[in-house]
Structure 1
Amino acid sequence: MPRAPEGALAALVALPFLLGAARAPAPAAGEVLFAFQDPEIVESSGLVVRDGLAVTVNDSGDPGRVFVVDPTSGETVGVTRWDTDPRDVEAVAPAGPGEVWVGDIGDNRHVRDSIEVLRVPVGRGDRTAEPERFELVYPDGATDAETLMTEPGTGRLVVVSKGVFGGTVYRAPARLDPGRPNRLEEIGTTLGLATDGSFFPDGRHLVVRNYGRAAVLTWPRLEELGSFDLPPQEQGESIAVDERGQVLVGTEGAFSEVQSVRVPRAIEAAMASPSPTPDPTPTSSASPSTTSDEVVGEAESGDEDGSWPALLVGGAVVLGLLLVLLVATAGAAARRRRG
């Protein structure tokens, strides 16, 4: 069977975002809090804000290190280093006072037998550490992920895969064993192309983002309360919720900005409403009513602006892209026959 041209495939991968553009909702207003001033922070991927400090890591390809930044100035005030270079660091998550989890969880080619998380001390001042390491394995084979979160109260780790049409949510064991692989448990799904996520302080809600959108879900049922557009960013790969519940988003790029965003009122109201008793044993059937980036064109919870025009435009986009793919494929086949 002829292989479709790369441009056509790229167009199909971008389809969820084109559907979102068809509706064109107003993005959440962002307020710039600070910009990273350290020229060594060029691919900020993951963000933790605790105790008046911001912690970030560079994307894959960087040596083992974590940056601690003063958000009042954007200046780096501490770096923790370790000797062993990671394979593909993609995330950072809270791990308790003076510590963060570093997620060596990236796997773009789906070739890793397991992933690794490291518990790293952080704070003001430079230091060299030997972080405690834990191996994690998926129940369903190699998976690419960029999202690592810590459940408040229990400290339990949560990983979200970077699936194109929906991210799978996995939970780590309550106690991690450093001496053997720790098997992750699949418990549900969320929006596609997830690049980061964070729990709210109440432990009953979490937020997951992709390159242009964020969704708020209940925990552990993973019922989606709503989703909203984020401020435009070069390559948005981080989101954090601080101790006060403030949501912050960041992006890759030299001297990139970190912004605070307001969760839409309808979602805030849904978060404030009484919730049912948490399910103590969530399963893979626990998932939001809309589980992938196909929801980009939907109105957020409580929004009744009507979606039929967007659906019609979105359908036209789908048909147009399929036509481009078929024509390009047929043309490539014809050229090979003539050759």
Structure 2
Amino acid sequence: MKYRIILFLIIPFLWSCGDEPPAPDPVIPPGSSEVQIQAIQLSNYSESTDHQFEPEWNLIFKNMETKETQSLVFLPNRFPHQEKITLPFGKYSYAFESAETPEFSEFLPVRIQGEFELKTEKSDLNLSGIGLSEIIQINPNFSISAPQIVSPSEKTFYPVQEFFRLYTSSDQLLKIRVENPGSFDFLTLFQNASNSSSIRLYWPESEYIYDGGIRLNGDGFPLTMPSTPLAELDESQNETSGLAQFGGRLFAINDGDNPNRIYELDPETGEVLRSVLVENANNRDWESLAQSETHLFIGDFGNNQGTRQDLAIYRIPWQEVLNQETVQAEKISFRYPNQIDFSPRENHRFDCEAFLFWKGKLHLFTKNRKSEDSDHYTLPSEPGNYTTELIETIPVNKLVTGACIDPTSGKVILLGYKLPLQGFISLWEGMEGELLGENFRRIQIGEFPMGLTEGVILNPEGNVWISSERVGITNVVELKPQLSILGLEGIF
């Protein structure tokens, strides 16, 4: 038995002695340099971004004096990089460009180019270039199936360890559907494909911690969900204050001391397509738009100091708004039954910036700066002179600046903010009679610095367009007026 053990010990020793020694490094010819590629640096991406590239690149090195070229097959996804090339001393350029730039892909197409000079026997080289596509990453802290782009075309994200990634060269707005981990069907996210983005989702959460991510409570409803900018608006929309839509066409107004005009905007680009003059109405303080199937309503009821006794709503047939450049409006005049003091002051309950039409009546929601609740009034939608009826006071915990309703289901959305410019929307599943009540959900949609959100309207798909005013604070921030979109499909 002892001999067998000794024999087994001797055999491995003899086998190891028979191994050939590793091949020595190749001799570098005099006047040449061994170039070792160390890293890839893309000017349009952070150095820390972990990319997926094509399996191999055929790098071309060109001597800038002799014009001679050499090629090197480089494996960009292998790290650390091991490829080397030996070149005579001199000045060189290098280049590689991906053969195609797909609309959507798992890898990042690139254009690699740069110059360097060789003077020493060994040299390290960092490749420079640009990525030819944008990157969209979705980073959930929970397990879900791969998210999908559902519009303008269909594409599934690629899984990468604990997140999902997709490269795109599209310049269109992407609508993304993400599996909801709670009781709701799904989440609808929007992304400007021309910009890279990392979308973070956290579940379950219980607090409104706004950091640009999406925080879902236990049943999967978003506590925070940033709106997605579509476009900066023209200077003529600097004080945009209300939105309406008819058949997918988008309309806007500006508030006080601006022209008495209704503007039609491109819902994707925010471009002003046309304007309609309301010939017999002054823009004392236009603050909101409401709509029925037959009429557009303009709320001239902004009342910052509480002094106004000429509160009005203008009513115009949709067919005239859609087809004419000049229109005449019918007037609805009104007063609040509980206002007896018209002296100028800031903390009062009679400023209004939001209303909607429902079942033959107009519903007004006040902006109460001191208490941050909202008084809900109603009045008839026919021309005349009325006293509003106070229906309820809603504990919205924000300053209400916009309202809209789904004319089919009766679902209601109130837009507003808390200082310093924290944007929110509140959602009701419908009215009980004429009451909204206290049973609503709230989503934080923005944080300072953000525009002053004033206009909101449901689009035909069940998502919302939001408009925000220009905000300027000298030497601090300058925000242009903006049109944004927020996905509510799947949760509301």
Quickly say closer, same or farther: Cα 1:84–1:78, change in 2 above 3 A: same
CA contact (8 A) 1:68 1:123 kept: no
Structure 2 alignment gaps of length 5 or more? 1-206, 216-223, 343-349, 418-422, 471-478
Q: Deviations over 1:240-271 (max 9, x none)?
A: 11233222222002852222213496xx3xx6
Q: Distance in 2 between matches of 1:134 and 1:170?
A: 15
Greater mean deviation of Cα atoms: 55-64 or 77-86: 77-86
Correspondence for 1:251: 468
Q: Distance in 2 between matches of 1:43 and 1:134?
A: 24
Correspondence for 1:31: 228
Correspondence for 2:250: 54
Correspondence for 2:456: 239
Post-superposition shift, 1:235?
A: 0.8
- 1:242-281 pair list within 5 angstroms: 242-253=459-470, 256-263=481-488, 268=491
Quickly say closer, same or farther: Cα 1:76–1:131, change in 2 above 3 A: same
CA contact (8 A) 1:149 1:197 kept: yes
Q: Distance in 1 between matches of 2:409 and 2:488?
A: 17
- 1:164-203 pair list within 5 angstroms: 164=369, 165=371, 166-173=373-380, 176-178=382-384, 181-190=385-394, 191=396, 192-203=398-409
CA contact (8 A) 2:379 2:387 kept: yes
Q: Distance in 1 between matches of 2:451 and 2:269?
A: 21
2:332 maps to 1:134: yes
Correspondence for 2:351: 144
3-state SS in 2 of match to 1:163:
coil
Instruction: Find the partner of 2:445 among 209, 230, 248.
Output: 230
Task: Give 1 or 2: higher helix fraction.
Answer: 1
Post-superposition shift, 1:35?
A: 3.6
CA contact (8 A) 1:238 1:251 kept: yes
Post-superposition shift, 1:207?
A: 1.0
Task: Give 1 or 2: higher strand fraction.
Answer: 2
CA contact (8 A) 1:201 1:243 kept: no
Give TM-score scaled by structure 1 length.
0.64
Greater mean deviation of Cα atoms: 252-261 or 237-246: 252-261
- Which amino acid is the alignment partner of residue 215 of structure 1? S
Instruction: Find the partner of 2:425 among 191, 200, 214.
Output: 214
Q: Distance in 2 between matches of 1:50 and 1:71?
A: 11
CA contact (8 A) 2:230 2:269 kept: no
CA contact (8 A) 1:119 1:132 kept: yes
3-state SS in 2 of match to 1:40:
helix
Q: Deviations over 1:2-31 (max 9, x none)?
A: xxxxxxxxxxxxxxxxxxxx9424531323
Q: Distance in 2 between matches of 1:118 and 1:163?
A: 23
Runs of 4+ aligned residues of structure 1 deviating over 4 Å after TM superposition are: 121-126
Correspondence for 2:263: 67
Q: Deviations over 1:20-53 (max 9, x none)?
A: xx942453132333442x3311111011122121
Q: Distance in 2 between matches of 1:177 and 1:235?
A: 31
Q: Distance in 2 between matches of 1:156 and 1:136?
A: 13
Post-superposition shift, 1:171?
A: 1.1
Q: Deviations over 1:197-252 (max 9, x none)?
A: 11123343211121211111231331322111013431111211123322222200
Correspondence for 1:86: 283
Give TM-score scaled by structure 2 length.
0.45
Greater mean deviation of Cα atoms: 206-215 or 240-249: 240-249
Tell me: higher relative CO, structure 1 or 2? Use CA pairs within 8 A at least 6 residues apart: 1
Q: Deviations over 1:258-303 (max 9, x none)?
A: 22213496xx3xx6xxxxxxxxxxxxxxxxxxxxxxxxxxxxxxxx
Q: Distance in 2 between matches of 1:62 and 1:41?
A: 10
Q: Distance in 2 between matches of 1:262 and 1:128?
A: 34
Structure 1 alignment gaps of length 5 or more? 1-21, 272-339
3-state SS in 1 of match to 2:305:
coil
2:372 maps to 1:161: no
Q: Distance in 2 between matches of 1:103 and 1:234?
A: 21
Which is higher, the Rg of structure 1 or of structure 2? Answer: 2
- 1:90-105 pair list within 5 angstroms: 90-97=287-294, 99-105=295-301
Q: Distance in 2 between matches of 1:203 and 1:120?
A: 24
Greater mean deviation of Cα atoms: 220-229 or 103-112: 220-229
Correspondence for 2:237: 41
Q: Distance in 2 between matches of 1:195 and 1:167?
A: 10
CA contact (8 A) 1:79 1:126 kept: no
Q: Distance in 2 between matches of 1:112 and 1:244?
A: 38
CA contact (8 A) 1:32 1:260 kept: yes
Correspondence for 1:116: 312
